[in-house]
A and B are shown apart, each in its own frame.
Chain A
Amino acid sequence: MSKKCHFWTLLFILFITSINANAQQFEEMMSRGQIKGNFQFESQFYREDTIIGAEEVPERIRSNSFLNLIYSNGGFSAGMRYESYLPPLLGYPEGYQGNGIMYRFASYQKDDLSITVGNFYEQFGTGLVLRTYEERGLGYDNALDGVRLKYKVYDGIRLTALTGRQRIFFDYGEGIVRGFDADINLNETFSDFFEGSKTRILLGGSAVSKYQADRNSQFVLPENVATFGGRASITRGRFNFYAEYAYKVNDPSADNEFIYKPGEALLLQGTYSQKGLGILVSAKRNDNMSFRSDRTEGEQNLLINYMPALTKQHTYNLLATLYPYATQLNGEVAFQADLIYKFDKGTILGGDRGMDIQVNYSTANNIDTTHLNDEFTFRQGYKSSYFSVGEVYFKDFNVQLTKRFSSKVKGIFTYANLVYNQDIIEGKPGAPTVYADIAIADITYRLDMRNALRGEFQHLSTEQDQGDWATLLVEYTYAPHWFIAIQDQYNYGNSEKEKQTLL
C-alpha cells in the first residue's frame, strides 16, 4: 500500500470517528432548532365597471400569496419567503409577475457580532440615507441581497457595515449599495460621566454609497454616489429632541432630470410627554434627495433612502384613500404639530369616563427654487433658500375625540380639513387643488364580552375633483379572532350624474 493510500485511510477513520463522537452532540443541537412561519393568501374577484373606469380584468381573479419560513437554532437562523402573484392584485406594481423566492437569508450571531448573508432589511437613523423595508400592502420591497455585519465594538457603540444589490420585483437592481453606520449611546460609552444624569444622548453617523456604471453618451455620470448623514437624539426628562441631517453628492437621475446639484435633507423633531398629555412638533426639509440604486428608475423602485412624511397616517376610508399625501423626493418643506390630551374623569369635558382629544396639523410645501438656466453647462438646475417655501402641496388639520359614553358604547369622532395639490401629488397637470372637509363618526356598541357591533359614518365634502362622498361601514366582531364587515361608498356629489354610484 502506498503512502498516499495510508493517508486517505487514516483520514477516513478520523472522519468516521469524528462523526460517531459528535453524532450525539449534533442530534442534541438539532433538537434545539425551531421553524416558524406564516402564510398569507389574498384574492380578489373583478368586474368591469365603465362608469368608474374599472377595466375588464381578463383573469377575473387575481391573487397574492406569501409564505414565510424561519429556522433558528441558537445564534443561527435562516429563512425564506415564497411569493406568488398570479397575477398581482390590481393596484400592485405590474412588475410582480409569477412565483419565486426573492427573500432568503442565513444569519449567525455570537456575542457582539452578527453576520447576515442573503436578503436583509436595514435602516440607518430615520432612513434619510438608507432604509430598506417591505410594505406589502403597497407592493414595496427594496430588500438588499448581500452581506451585512453588525458589531458592538464597545459599550454603547454599534457599527453596521453592509453591501448588496436591491430587489426590484423578481430581479435585482443594477447598482451596488455599500453602507456604514455607527451608533453611539454616550450614556453607555461614558457611563461614569453620565452616571445619575437625566440626560440621554444618542449620536449616529452614516455613509452610503452606490455604484452604477455610466453608459450614457450624453452626460458624464458619477458612477459612485455617496450620501452622508449625522443624527443626534437628546432626551431629558419629558423632553426629547431629535435632529438628523443628510447630504448627497451629485446624483443625476431620471428623478431630478439629470441635474448635478447636491441633495440634502434635514429633520427636526421635538416631543414632550407626561401623563395625559403628549406634544410633538416636527419639521423637515428635503431638497433633491431621491437616492436610488438605479438612476433611471422611478416610482417606488430601488429607493435606497426614505423621506418620512410629516403627515398623519389616517385609517378611515375617505381620509386615507382619496387624498393621501406622498412625500415629494425632489423637494419639500413640511411641518407637523400633534397634541394628545386626556380630559380626566370628573372634569367638564371628561364627564364620567374621561375623553381623549387629538389635534393634528401638518403642511407640506415645495421648496422655494430659482431656476439657474444652466442645463447646457453645469446642470445645477436651481438654487433654493432654507428660509422660504414654495407652492402648497398638502395641508391637513384634524381633530379626533374619543369618548366612552357607557360600558357598552364608545365613540370616535373625527373632523379633518384637507388641502390637496392633485397636480403635484398625483402628477395631473392642471388638476385643481382639492379643498375637502371630512367628518367621521365611529360608534362601537358592545353587545357582550364576545360580540360587538361597530358602525362608521363618513362624509367628505368638496367642490373639486369628484365632489362629495359618503361611506357607511357596519362591522360585527366575534372576539377574539373573527369579524365581518360590509362597507359602501357613495360618490353622490359627482358632477357627472352617471358616476354618482354606490361602490
Chain B
Amino acid sequence: MRTKNLLSISVLLALQLFFLGCEKVDDPYPVNVGQSIPYQGTEYIIDTEFEIGNTTQLITFIDNNNWESLTSPNNSNQRFILLEEFTGQKCTFCPDGTREIIRLDTIFKEVLIPVAIHAGTFAEPQDPSSGKYTTDFRVDGGHSEDYLNQFNPGKAFPRGTVSRFDNGSVSGPAAWEGQINSLKSESPIASLTINNHYSPNQNAVRVQIDLEWLTNTTEEYNLQVYLAEDHIIDWQLDNGVAVPNYDHRHVLRKVVNGTWGKSIGQAIQGETISIQYITRVDADWKANDMESIAFIYKNDGYEVMQANAAYIYKP
C-alpha cells in the first residue's frame, strides 16, 4: 500500500512539473496599447483602435497587410507653406477664398499646402429635414473650433493663416499671395518627407515622417499631422446661391496627433527624427482623394517652419 501511495505521489509530482512547471511565452514583449513603439529607428504611434501594443503586434500588422506607398516632394531646399483656411458650407463668401486658393495652387504648386478647416457657426450642419448643408465637415475632437478660437477669434470668413505667420494671425484672400511669396523665400530649417503606406483592406494609413534638421536653433518645435480630403461634392452657399454639387477642396478630416501635435524639441543640425503614425481612414472618405499633411511649427508663436503633403492612395 505504501509503495502504491508513493508511486501515486511521484506520478503527481512528475505531472506537476510537466504541466505547471513550464510556461511557453508566445509574445516576448509586454502589450501596452497606446504606447509609442520604437522600432528600427522609428517611433511608431498607433491609434488605440488597432489594439497594437508591442513590436510583435506591430510587425505582424505590417507584414500581414498589403501597403500601397506614396511619397511627398523633396523640400530640403525649399520652405513649403501651409495655408489653413477657415470656412463653412453656409459661409456665402467662403468660395471666394477657395477660388483664390485654387489660383495660388496653380502658381505655387507643391510649395503651397492648403487645408480647409470647417469651423464656427457657418460649419454647423442643418437638420436633415432641410435637405441641404446636412454634412458635418468639422473634425472629430473639436480641433476645428480650437484652431478657430486660437487663430481667428474674430470669426471673420473667409480668412486664412499662412504658415501661422505672425502668431497665427489670419488675413483675407487678397493678402495670402504676398505672404506666401515672403515666407517661401526663406531657407528651410528642416527637410520633411512623408511616406504614406495605405492598406485598402484595413482602411489604414501609415504616415511615415522623416525629418532632418538643416540648422541649429534654440526654439522648441512641434510636429503636427493632418489628414485632408479633396473634392468632396456637397452643398455650399456660394455668394447667395445654394450650390448642391459644390467641389469642396482640401477639407481637414482628421487631426492625427492632437490639437497641438507632438513636441520634437530643438533643431540640431544633422539630427534626424523618424515618426510613423498609424491611423484609420474613415470608410466614408475617398482614399484616393486623401492626403496626409505634416508640418513643424514653433512652440512659441506657432509659425510653421516646414510642411509637406502626400496623397495616401492612388490605385
Contact = CB atoms under 8 A, between A and B. Distances in A.
Interface of A: 113, 151, 153-154, 159, 161, 178-180, 182, 207-209, 211, 217-226, 228, 249-250, 252, 258, 260, 376-379
A182 B14 CA distance: 9
Given A376-B59, A377-B55, A222 B14 contact: no
A151 B10 contact: yes
19 contacts: A153-B3, A178-B21, A180-B17, A182-B10, A182-B14, A209-B22, A220-B28, A220-B29, A221-B25, A222-B22, A222-B24, A222-B25, A224-B20, A225-B22, A249-B24, A376-B39, A376-B40, A376-B56, A377-B55
B23 interface: yes
A378 B23 contact: no
Contacts of A208: 17
Given A153-B7, A378-B27, A209 B21 contact: yes
Given A222-B23, A249-B22, A379 B28 contact: yes
Contacts of A226: 17-18, 21-22
A219 to B, nearest CB: 5
Contacts of A221: 25
B22 A224 contact: yes
A208 B26 CA distance: 21
A211 B13 CA distance: 15
Most B C-beta atoms less than 10 A away, residue of A113, A217, A222, A378: A378
Nearest to B27: A220
A180 B59 CA distance: 40
Given A153-B10, A209-B17, A376-B39, 5 more contacts: A113-B6, A159-B10, A220-B30, A250-B24, A260-B25
Contact of A180 (B14, B26, B27, B55): B14
Interface in B1-47: 3, 6-7, 10, 13-14, 17-18, 20-30, 39-40
B39 to A, nearest CB: 6
A220 B14 contact: no
Contacts of B129: none
Most A C-beta atoms less than 10 A away, residue of B14, B20, B21, B60: B21
Interface in B237-276: none
Given A224-B20, A225-B22, A378-B56, A252 B28 contact: yes
Contacts of B20: 224
Contact of A161 (B13, B21, B23): B13
A207 B10 CA distance: 12
A226 to B, nearest CB: 4
Given A207-B21, A220-B28, A224-B20, A180 B13 contact: yes
Contacts of B21: 178, 207, 209, 211, 224, 226
A219 B29 CA distance: 5
A222 B18 CA distance: 15
A153 B14 contact: no
A224 B60 CA distance: 27
Contacts of A220: 25, 27-30
Top 5 A-B pairs, shortest CB-CB distance? A209-B21, A226-B22, A376-B55, A222-B23, A207-B17
B56 A377 contact: yes
Given A209-B17, A260-B25, A377 B6 contact: no
A377 B20 CA distance: 26
Nearest to B38: A376
Interface string B52-66: 000110011000000
A224 B25 CA distance: 10
B15 to A, nearest CB: 9
Give the interface residue-count category, chain B: 20 to 34
A182 B6 CA distance: 13
Contacts of B6: 113, 151, 153, 159
Given A180-B17, A226-B17, A260-B25, A161 B56 contact: no
A377 B14 CA distance: 33
Contacts of A209: 17, 21-22
A180 B22 CA distance: 14
Most B C-beta atoms less than 10 A away, residue of A211, A224, A226, A252: A226
B59 to A, nearest CB: 5
Contacts of A379: 28
A218 B13 CA distance: 33
Contacts of B14: 180, 182, 207
Contacts of B17: 178-180, 207-209, 226
Most A C-beta atoms less than 10 A away, residue of B17, B26, B55: B17
B12 to A, nearest CB: 10
Nearest to B22: A226
Contacts of B22: 209, 222, 224-226, 249
Most B C-beta atoms less than 10 A away, residue of A180, A211, A222, A249: A180
Given A151-B6, A207-B21, A209-B17, A219 B30 contact: yes
Contacts of A211: 21
B205 to A, nearest CB: 22
A250 B23 CA distance: 8
Most A C-beta atoms less than 10 A away, residue of B3, B23, B27: B23
Contacts of A250: 23-25
A217 B55 CA distance: 14
B55 A207 contact: no
B16 to A, nearest CB: 8
A182 B7 CA distance: 11
Contacts of A222: 22-25
Given A151-B10, A180-B10, A223 B55 contact: no
A154 B60 CA distance: 53
Contacts of B59: 376-377
Nearest to A207: B17
Interface string B76-97: 0000000000000000000000
A223 B13 CA distance: 19
Contacts of A258: 28
A377 B59 CA distance: 7
Most A C-beta atoms less than 10 A away, residue of B6, B25, B27: B25
A148 B193 CA distance: 66
Contacts of B25: 220-222, 250, 252, 260
Given A151-B10, A161-B13, A376-B55, A223 B18 contact: no
A2 to B, nearest CB: 44
A377 B18 contact: no
B44 to A, nearest CB: 11
Contacts of B23: 222-225, 249-250
B28 to A, nearest CB: 5
A222 B20 CA distance: 12
A258 B56 CA distance: 15
